[in-house]
Each structure stands twice: as C-alpha cells, then as structure tokens.
Chains A and B, each alone.
Chain A
C-alpha cells in the first residue's frame, strides 16, 4: 500500500514491545498525507539489529483537534511516519453525512479546509 499526498490515512495502533518512532499521541488518529520524504529503514527493525529494506516515509498532517479533542487548539502537527505505521482511512468527507453529529463534524471539517 502506497499513499499519495492529500490522501486520508490513519496511524496504526501499536502493541508490540520494543522501539518505535510512532508516538502514542497519534496512534489510531486520522491524518492526511502531506508529502513523501523518501525511503528509509524502519526504526523498529534497526533497533533490533535487523537488516530490512528501506520503505516509504511520509510526512503526515494531523489536526490538533483530531489528536486531543475540540479544546486542543487550531494548530496542525506534522510527523514523519513509516508506511508500516499507516493504514488507509476513508474520511468522513468522502461519504454523505447522515446524522446531526455527522453533519456537525462534516461542517467543522470543511471549515478547517478553507
């Protein structure tokens, strides 16, 4: 699975013991691919002394509100995440909002894009 700039993604949950460069505060959170940084060796494997091939590393943008809720502020946080840390994610924007709560979230998300 490779990702393109603008594509919605979700950071994976992470249960394995050991070193990782996937911080806890983005795990399970939705973000957007900002850019491809290049191909690098997965830090988790390097820490175990494993020889692995390089994989894509992406700059991913997260809205503070997606990380910490509505009182988190209006800033964005960008992280560099290995492809192994990401899964594709269907944004709420992609589907028609159905409930009142969905419509409010949809409205907020659209405002955030302007």
Chain B
C-alpha cells in the first residue's frame, strides 16, 4: 500500500528540470511557508512524519499538479484543521484570501 508520493523507480518522468536554477526560493511566500513549518516543528506542534503524511494524502492529481511549496501549504492547512489548530471555516477564509485583489 502506497500513497502517490512513493515514486522511486517509476518510469516516464523525463529529464530532470531546473539544473541551472540556483534559487532556494522563487517567491517570498515560499520562504515564509518553509519557515512557518519549521517553526511549528520546532515548537512541537506536530512531527515531520505527521506533516509528511499530510502531504502524502493529497489527491494524486493535485499532488502532481502542485508546486513543491504549494504542497507544503496545502498539507499545513490540512494538518492544522485535523489537529484542531484552526477551524474548517478559518481554512475556507484563508483560501478565500487568494481571491482578493
């Protein structure tokens, strides 16, 4: 039994992209979500494995369609709701913030 992330040895992915890409982060929000997750781990709010499991449980199509730190953001929201740290309504508001201009 595996989730979608377990891709070691799979065929069909093609050439490795981004070899000349020297940037750690490609937008300020990527660095921010990276630091938020590390802070929560440091504070013992959840473990790495709980966080990884939240990423792994993404819908397979969404997993492959999302960028790396988008998967982190998605998983972080999911885990926070599951642990009762934010409410589902708060998460809906957070996602609605994407539509603001």
Any A CB within 8 A of the CB of B1: yes
* Total contacting residues, chain A, CB less than 8 A: 17
Instruction: Give the Cβ gap from B52 to chain A, nearest Cβ, in Å.
Output: 6
**A74–chain B nearest beta-carbon distance, Å:** 16
The interface stretch among B2-10, B14-22, B60-68 is B2-10
- CB of A77 to closest CB in B, whole Å: 9
B9–A19 contact, CB under 8 A? no
Q: How many A-B residue pairs have CB under 8 A?
A: 34
Shortest CB–CB separation between residue B7 and chain A, in angstroms? Answer: 9
Closest to B10 in A: A25
CB contacts (< 8 Å) of B47 on chain A: these are 46-47, 49
Q: Is the CB of A49 within 8 A of B9?
A: no
B→A interface (CB under 8 Å): 1-2, 6, 8-9, 47-50, 52-53, 56
Give me 11 other A-B pairs in contact (C-beta within 8 A), A24-B2, A24-B8, A25-B9 excluded. Answer: A14-B1, A16-B1, A19-B49, A19-B50, A19-B56, A21-B49, A24-B9, A44-B49, A47-B50, A67-B9, A68-B9
